[in-house]
Structure 1
Amino acid sequence: MIFQHKLIESLNRGKENIAIEYKDSKVSYAELLTDANRITKQLIDDDIPHGTSIGIILDDRADLIKAIIGIANARCVFVPIDRSWPLNRLEAIKENLRLDHVIISGNVPEAFVSLSNVYLVEDLIGRFSPEEATPLIYPDFEEEDSLYIYFTSGSTGIPKAIVGKNASLTQFLTWEAAEFNIDSSCKVSQLISPYFDAFLRDIFLPLSTGGVLCVPPDNEDFFTAEKMIHWLEQSEVSLIHCVPSVFRLIKDYKALTADRLKQLKYILLSGEKIIPEELKNWYETFKDRIQLCNFYGTTETTLIRAFYRIKPADVSKNRIPIGKPIADTNLLVTNKDFKPCNVLISGELYIISDFLTKGYINAPELTTEKFILINSGPFEGKKAFRTGDKARMLTDGNYELLGREDRQVKLRGIRIELDEIENVLTQSGLVKNAVVIKWTRPDESTDENTGSLNQESIIAFVIANETSEKDSNLESGIRNYLNDNLPAYMVPADILLMTAFSLLGNGKIDYKKLSETYESSHKSVIVAPENEIECDLLAIWSEILGSSEISTEDNFHKIGGNSLSIMKLIAKIYARFKVRFPLSDLFKMLTIRSQAAYIMSAIRNDLFEIKKAPEKEAYYLSAAQERLYFLYELNKQSTAYNLPVVFEITDNADADRIKQTFKTLVSRHKVLMSQFIANEDGIQQRINPEFAFSLEKISSTQIKEGIDSFIKPFDLNKGPIFRAAHLTAENRNFIVFDIHHIVCDGLSQVNIFSDFLDMYVGNSLKPLSLDYTDYSEWEKSFSASAEYSLQKSYWMNMFSGTVPQLELPLSESLEDNTDESGDQINFEIESSVVKGLYAGNGDAGINSFSALYSVFFLFMNQLTGQDDLVIGTMSSGRLQQGLEPLVGMFARTLPVRYQVDAKQSFHELLKSVSKVLVEVQAHQMYDLADILIEVNKNKAVSDTKLFDVMFVYQNFDKGRLELKDTGFAYYEFENKTTKYPLSLVVSESNDVFKCRMEYASRYFSVTDIENLIAHFKKLAIAISENPDRELIDLVGDAEQSPEYIANDISFNI
């Protein structure tokens, strides 16, 4: 009998009997048929061609089953799809199936919004009356009709689509019902995910025999032993299909006794290996009252093709057999020449049957390779499926599996192609080679109370490529890529970074050795804390690094720390212990144990603790603010210190809501209400509570013109120093906000818009513990401390003697700096080049920042012909706990002086520069203005600056500006002002370093800067290829006079 006829007959026969129990409700056979018919009728009315694939994206299990039956009865093909699959996977499925129809409830996944027919299941079920939907004239079904499509892991990275047919599913259901005497009294559990073909066993065995399908609640914690057993008993389930992992939850439950599960007759296991020894306790409890069976089959062969009734005596066997073939099926074990193996001789297992699936969609070569036509012997003319499993036939006629011939495994009943995971890994651009294995814990025990068990895991071993091997965040980057491109069940549980893979004598990967390597690393001893200080440090490290698997002897950098997180570590250590770690010292103490020893011996000092300042009429300025106010007084019409940001409105935004969000933002960051006043204590800042925020409206024909018109000089004395506008230009809408540098730095810009986004979408924000004025008041008191004086000596030593002035080869003097007009050119440097600059150099403080800074020093040495150089850089200045989320001017400008020695190698230069950078940051609290004052003492003519060239490395967390689903998109525009004649700004982004050369237009032409960039990149590449060459070989004779930039500098590379 054809599948649909068999099913419709059963549904009609059931009438008002219960078909499905789900969510405390019951669906009768009559209701199930009526609702399915409604779906069928709509598909027929819409002239959907027979054999059309129709996707199903439904979370409600009853609706899902109705849709499956409705599609099948329309002579179409049902395709269950999980809405949580990654977008890339959904796109691949849509393209492969040429999917154009879907039945759905709720939001439509992005991959399917463009389909011709998107049916809402609620509309389909409610569209026709029962009289209109029943009786229904069905199409003429055929045995060979395609019925369903399910997906298995594909070695190419694209899921393999397998299409089943009517005859094969009918044959299996008929066999299973007969073999286990299934009738209308049966109650079958539905424990298997709808997105795997075994789901069809669950639903159609009871529905084709008049029984009841029992669907468990949707609770995430259902799969715990106590809740599952309670539900099985309450539902009076008589038959379970499940994987051994789920069965273990039941059998290992501590409170399981012989009087439990009274209605249960069968547990039919499939998908994973059953361990005989673990059945011992089960049989001691239940004897043979509940029949256990081992099922074996593949999606390609239509559910199950072999089975074995497990007996109590089997607990003493080494393996549980897969048994003998079901009806209309044969098993064949062959050698590599496709010759049948004798009894007990292992070979590759083939399944022979007329009731296989149709094969893989749009993959004829793979179908031909796996579905083989036998051309001789007793099975001549039959089709056989090549399973890839290693097996043998036992003397009693049962078959036994011995492992996999290929790279396909099963994990918790789900078939996974390890090659697919490996291909996705190598496609990530982060690794050059990858090997993935299924690893089994050798000595895992089960929790007696919960019955939870995780014996098997997917483990990935990767060799990083040159561009990412030094990346401290490599593992998280790989994991993020896998999460975006693989279903959750295929993402490896652990990722191990390797330098090479062990090989066998024949040159193949030694998988056993890899497994042993992982087992060894997995069992590595984690040295526990020995005292309270170490416990507290462990908690701090865990919070910063996002991991609890930390040993007190682990190196902070080697387990994920970086330059940004080490600053957080300094702040959190001080907040907890009131002990200040100089950065240079911390680089020497990168373990919890060494840090704890330092803390125990250090003198606690609350000098660096910032406390809430009492409310006052006005507050002291920070040193950075004083410097910026001085520059403001020099040129009040300047916009060089305006920090504008633009975001495009990509969705229908609520103008009133935007305005209110900005008001709330200003209330959170009171420094935005500042104005600067003169009193007896000099220039101070006052928080103006009368600040009235307004969202200006601007219309312009050109976007740039509109932005430029909004950027105007601020009046720091009157305020406000924070403005925002709604700009309409070129039929697009933008939000522009502009803020003066005196109350804002780069990280503050991130904080402002991150907070704005959170507030706009309704997220709650953690209250701020400090305000910027608390910091500025603290800094004023700190500047009078002995510690501040101690920092002074470091800078005076650096700038003793004659301070060099950079002699850029320009056509006019740098002394007149009132013209702030500038421009910029963007370029990129490959990560592989930057990593090559410090490859193999693991000294403290050596990283991408110090490597590029060193190249820039060398570049300026070549450009100017000077050995003694001063190049400025920036530091966040946020050393204390509580400053990171604030808005304010914390950034510190640091002058770095270094003398290049042409006889050094680049590696030697890098070590020296890195050491200087660590020291400079350790002494960053001594302000640049005070350095200038001290340098200018006893000089007839004072210098107003120490450098004309800046190097800025931006490494703050840009992920906080994630704009998805907010209706805003960051809009890049070029600000045509500059603070220095020449600046190089660098930030790391994926596989490249994004660079921006900013320059003063009066000194440089576009051609000049293009030549500079070309030669900077050329120098970096040359060093990266051989960092041990002497500098003189890279840059030529240091005594040679430099050529003018516009004439194209000649580098000796």
Structure 2
Amino acid sequence: SPFAAGERLYRTGDLARWMEDGNVDFIGRIDNQAKIRGYRIETGEIESQLLRVEGVREAVVLVRSDANGQKALCAYYTPDTGAELAVNDLRGALAQELPGYMIPSYFVEMERLPLTPNGKIDRKALPAPEGEAGSGTEYIAPRNELETKLAAIWQEVLGLAKEIGVHDNFFDIGGHSLRATTLAGKVFKELNVNLPLRDVFRHSTIAAMAEAIARMERREHEAIPQAEEREYYPLSSAQKRLFIQHTLDGADQLYNMPELVQVEGEFDLDRLEAALRKLITRHESLRTGFEIVKAEAVQRIYPQVDFAIEHHQADKEDAAQIEQIVRSFVRPFDLGKPPLLRAGVIELEPNLHILLFDMHHMVSDGVSMAIVIDEFSSFYAGEELPPLRIQYKDYAVWQQSKAHRERIGRQEAYWLQTFEGELPTADLPMDYERSAARSYEGAHLEFDVEASLSARLRELAAERESTLFMVLLAAYTVLLSKYSGQEDLVVGTPVAGRTNADLEPVIGMFVNTLAIRNRPSGDKTFLSYLEEVKETALGAFENQDYPFEDLVERLNVKREPGRFPLFDAVFDLQNIEERDAELEGVSLKTYELDHLEEAKFDLTLFMYENNGALSGGFFYATKLFKEAMIRTLTEDYLRVLSQIAENPQLELSRIECHKPAAGAKSAVDTIEFAF
């Protein structure tokens, strides 16, 4: 029996799913997974959907590299006898079931698919596609210089190698809120026009955007200047917050950013160390230490730092031993002793290793990690990179300069107006009393959203000319309102903070936190409330350069023991594209370890796209909530999503949720739930 002790099960590599009638639906091969522009894609899922299209007899989907070396999906299909299949019809049928990033760029009709002697499809014999990729919209080339420049900017922001037509919609071909912000920054830098974020939504085709820009006043892009060389430099606003947090009891590991990668194949450790040394030399932030000078925190850049890879050995079957090594590797950094980066290797077998990597948030963020992976891969391959024009210290000096502070004065006015009057607090029911001493002990609970519901939520966003972020945030605030009994809520959300295009290649901590205030009163329909959330989100994103720390100070927020100022709940739609390091001669995959969890906030909902559907989870403070409470919260969030997808005109008071578990504690005496 394969279930007998000591015997192994055979891993077939087939991917399938249980159907409601008990049958097993074969989707494809696990080894047919690919990653394009940060999205992990199961090509078998696309094939499965293609085969459901009327008139398609056979289908296979491959990942091809185009003339520019960019990966793209290519679908090969054979039609039923007499069937006439238009590419636009195929693309439209897939768009009903799959997200935009899973729609093939190329479609190739064939009389029959080539087979191997064993009767299987010979993927290597499939021809390279001809012509340009398409988006489903009739391709019309840029007709003037402005449209041509915009098309080039769009291609760079969206990571597309294919030609973009003037009537392609930014949000239909991979755009979202984060990319819209990046787009606005690039337009400002390259066209000298300050394009408001909401205008990206209003004018979401190249033709419409070019027409709008042509009417706008030209303004010189503000290049970040190089700072004069000095002994030490000021901290950025984000660094100031982290520096204080790092010194608090129990928070010395709160802002570590560990990554674990399993490496299979011939791995050159000398090249690994040389590549990391080049990375440290290239980026001053990786040679930066922090100290107190005249009662003020400052950063000092060192010309050289000591760096060496930590070497370990372990039995690949001994998970406890591996976990112990990882736990000893992920330890507090001394902020005064750079580099705030460490790397290690666990050798499991001669050609099987786990690469350990850890950085402190003071010198890195999510976008920075992607830069690290890209540049590390280049250095490992022996490539050279052009020098950086500016470094992180230049940004910190520029951000703290009087001239820049004056320029963001209008943003300050927006935030002060948003929070005028009494500040709201959302007191969620809790399983334990809140302690005056903040604890960062946390756990997380993940969930999946069905593919059909995910598709409907995307449709809802498109119908209302909003984004998935706005729909999911609106649903989250409805849930929080149900649980807290309050109709004036603030939810935090992180943003990349790189609105100036000069910052794109720089490693450092740029993240800002936006405090988004919404009022989900029960008499509103979800559609009308979504319009409000859209406006408040756009307003927040357009004014995202104003530091959260400054807002807290200007509002004179009363600091409550054990609580974060302004909000306790966070929403994070993870749009930062994952990067896979590509190293010659080895295969890489993320090594999962679930025992390194800490909770920066009471409750954080994170969402991400996963093979065409949405997935997510709640990070929560285990000193406040039991897992059972979070399970109920998860079920209710999915219930809210289902109800708004089925009937967006539903009044918020009629959206149903379960009550929290009996005995849950809250700062309010009673909680009324509107069912």
Q: Does 1:647 align with 2:261?
A: yes
Q: Deviations over 1:302-331 (max 9, x none)?
A: xxxxxxxxxxxxxxxxxxxxxxxxxxxxxx
Aligned to 2:241: 627
Aligned to 2:471: 851
Q: Does 1:683 align with 2:297?
A: yes
The alpha-carbon distance between structure 1 residues 885 and 970, as it changes in their structure 2 partners (threshold 3 A), is: farther
Q: Does 1:726 align with 2:345?
A: yes
1:956 maps to a residue whose letter is I
Question: How far did 1:841 drift?
Answer: 4.9
| Aligned partner (choices 786, 794, 818) of residue 414 of structure 2 | 794
1:1029 maps to a residue whose letter is L
| Aligned partner (choices 957, 963, 971) of residue 577 of structure 2 | 957
Question: How far did 1:535 drift?
Answer: 4.0
The alpha-carbon distance between structure 1 residues 966 and 884, as it changes in their structure 2 partners (threshold 3 A), is: farther
Question: How far did 1:681 drift?
Answer: 8.7
Q: Does 1:704 align with 2:323?
A: yes
Q: Which one scores higher on RCO, CA 8 angstroms, separation ≥ 6?
A: 2
**Contact 2:259–2:356 (8 Å) recurs in 1:** yes
Return the alpha-carbon distance in structure 1 between the equivalents of residues 134 and 514 of structure 2: 39
> What are the equivalent positions in structure 2 for 1:796-815 lying under 5 Å apart?
796-814=416-434
Return the alpha-carbon distance in structure 2 between the equivalents of residues 940 and 629 of structure 1: 18
| Aligned partner (choices 80, 85, 89) of residue 461 of structure 1 | 89
> What are the equivalent positions in structure 2 for 1:345-364 lying under 5 Å apart?
none
The alpha-carbon distance between structure 1 residues 634 and 495, as it changes in their structure 2 partners (threshold 3 A), is: closer
Return the alpha-carbon distance in structure 1 between the equivalents of residues 182 and 341 of structure 2: 28
2:597 maps to a residue whose letter is K
Return the alpha-carbon distance in structure 1 between the equivalents of residues 628 and 560 of structure 2: 35
The TM-score normalised by the length of structure 2 is 0.77
Aligned to 1:536: 149
Question: How far did 1:746 drift?
Answer: 1.4
Question: How far did 1:952 drift?
Answer: 0.9
Return the alpha-carbon distance in structure 1 between the equivalents of residues 96 and 386 of structure 2: 35
Return the alpha-carbon distance in structure 1 between the equivalents of residues 357 and 293 of structure 2: 30
Aligned to 2:118: none
**Contact 1:950–1:980 (8 Å) recurs in 2:** yes
Aligned to 1:898: 518
Aligned to 1:581: 195
Q: Does 1:887 align with 2:507?
A: yes
Question: How far did 1:608 drift?
Answer: 3.5
Return the alpha-carbon distance in structure 2 between the equivalents of residues 438 and 528 of structure 1: 41
Q: Does 1:735 align with 2:355?
A: yes
Aligned to 1:912: 532
Give secondary structure in 2 for the equivalent of 1:952: strand
Aligned to 1:970: 590
Return the alpha-carbon distance in structure 1 between the equivalents of residues 520 and 604 of structure 2: 20
1:537 maps to a residue whose letter is L
Q: Deviations over 1:413-459 (max 9, x none)?
A: xxxxx84455879xxxx99xx996999xxxxxxxxxxxxxxxx9984
Question: How far did 1:770 drift?
Answer: 2.7
Return the alpha-carbon distance in structure 2 between the equivalents of residues 460 and 1006 of structure 1: 47
Question: How far did 1:923 drift?
Answer: 0.5
| Aligned partner (choices 647, 661, 667) of residue 275 of structure 2 | 661
Give ranges in structure 1 of 5+ residues lacking alignment: 1-86, 89-109, 112-156, 159-417, 440-455, 499-520
The alpha-carbon distance between structure 1 residues 672 and 543, as it changes in their structure 2 partners (threshold 3 A), is: closer
Q: Deviations over 1:543-576 (max 9, x none)?
A: 4453675555654334554334323322221221
**Contact 2:189–2:221 (8 Å) recurs in 1:** no
| Aligned partner (choices 264, 278, 287) of residue 673 of structure 1 | 287
Question: How far did 1:1051 drift?
Answer: 8.3
| Aligned partner (choices 915, 919, 929) of residue 549 of structure 2 | 929
Aligned to 1:203: none
The alpha-carbon distance between structure 1 residues 746 and 627, as it changes in their structure 2 partners (threshold 3 A), is: same
**Contact 1:528–1:551 (8 Å) recurs in 2:** no
Give secondary structure in 2 for the equivalent of 1:643: strand
**Contact 2:569–2:602 (8 Å) recurs in 1:** yes
The alpha-carbon distance between structure 1 residues 754 and 634, as it changes in their structure 2 partners (threshold 3 A), is: same
**Contact 2:102–2:612 (8 Å) recurs in 1:** no
Considering only aligned residues, what root-mean-square deviation do their CA atoms show, in Å?
4.1
2:204 maps to a residue whose letter is L
Return the alpha-carbon distance in structure 2 between the equivalents of residues 582 and 768 of structure 1: 28
**Contact 2:279–2:375 (8 Å) recurs in 1:** yes
Aligned to 2:656: 1035
Return the alpha-carbon distance in structure 2 between the equivalents of residues 898 and 783 of structure 1: 32
The alpha-carbon distance between structure 1 residues 914 and 987, as it changes in their structure 2 partners (threshold 3 A), is: same
Give secondary structure in 2 for the equivalent of 1:634: coil
Aligned to 1:827: 447
**Contact 1:438–1:458 (8 Å) recurs in 2:** no
Return the alpha-carbon distance in structure 2 between the equivalents of residues 576 and 687 of structure 1: 31
Return the alpha-carbon distance in structure 1 between the equivalents of residues 313 and 572 of structure 2: 35
Question: How far did 1:947 drift?
Answer: 0.8
**Contact 2:568–2:602 (8 Å) recurs in 1:** yes
Question: How far did 1:702 drift?
Answer: 1.5
Return the alpha-carbon distance in structure 1 between the equivalents of residues 616 and 89 of structure 2: 33
Aligned to 1:748: 368
**Contact 1:872–1:949 (8 Å) recurs in 2:** yes
Return the alpha-carbon distance in structure 2 between the equivalents of residues 652 and 812 of structure 1: 51
Return the alpha-carbon distance in structure 2 between the equivalents of residues 480 and 992 of structure 1: 26
**Contact 1:706–1:729 (8 Å) recurs in 2:** no
Aligned to 2:35: none
The alpha-carbon distance between structure 1 residues 992 and 555, as it changes in their structure 2 partners (threshold 3 A), is: closer
Return the alpha-carbon distance in structure 2 between the equivalents of residues 774 and 436 of structure 1: 59
**Contact 1:461–1:497 (8 Å) recurs in 2:** no
Between the two proteins, the alignment pairs up a number of residues equal to 591
**Contact 1:461–1:495 (8 Å) recurs in 2:** no
**Contact 1:459–1:495 (8 Å) recurs in 2:** no
**Contact 2:263–2:586 (8 Å) recurs in 1:** no
Aligned to 1:489: 127
Question: How far did 1:980 drift?
Answer: 0.9
1:713 maps to a residue whose letter is P
Give ranges in structure 2 of 5+ residues lacking alignment: 1-12, 15-30, 33-46, 49-54, 63-72, 114-121, 315-319
1:778 maps to a residue whose letter is W
> What are the equivalent positions in structure 2 for 1:167-206 lying under 5 Å apart?
none
Aligned to 2:397: 777
Return the alpha-carbon distance in structure 2 between the equivalents of residues 758 and 743 of structure 1: 21
> What are the equivalent positions in structure 2 for 1:15-164 lying under 5 Å apart?
none
Aligned to 1:715: 334
Give secondary structure in 2 for the equivalent of 1:823: strand
> What are the equivalent positions in structure 2 for 1:276-355 lying under 5 Å apart?
none
The alpha-carbon distance between structure 1 residues 1033 and 470, as it changes in their structure 2 partners (threshold 3 A), is: farther
Aligned to 1:70: none
Aligned to 1:568: 182
Return the alpha-carbon distance in structure 2 between the equivalents of residues 587 and 438 of structure 1: 44
Return the alpha-carbon distance in structure 2 between the equivalents of residues 958 and 940 of structure 1: 36
Question: How far did 1:494 drift?
Answer: 7.6
The alpha-carbon distance between structure 1 residues 485 and 893, as it changes in their structure 2 partners (threshold 3 A), is: farther
Q: Does 1:865 align with 2:493?
A: no
> What are the equivalent positions in structure 2 for 1:386-397 lying under 5 Å apart?
none
Question: How far did 1:491 drift?
Answer: 5.6
**Contact 1:650–1:967 (8 Å) recurs in 2:** yes
Question: Greater CA deviation, 644-653 or 488-497?
Answer: 488-497
Give secondary structure in 2 for the equivalent of 1:993: strand
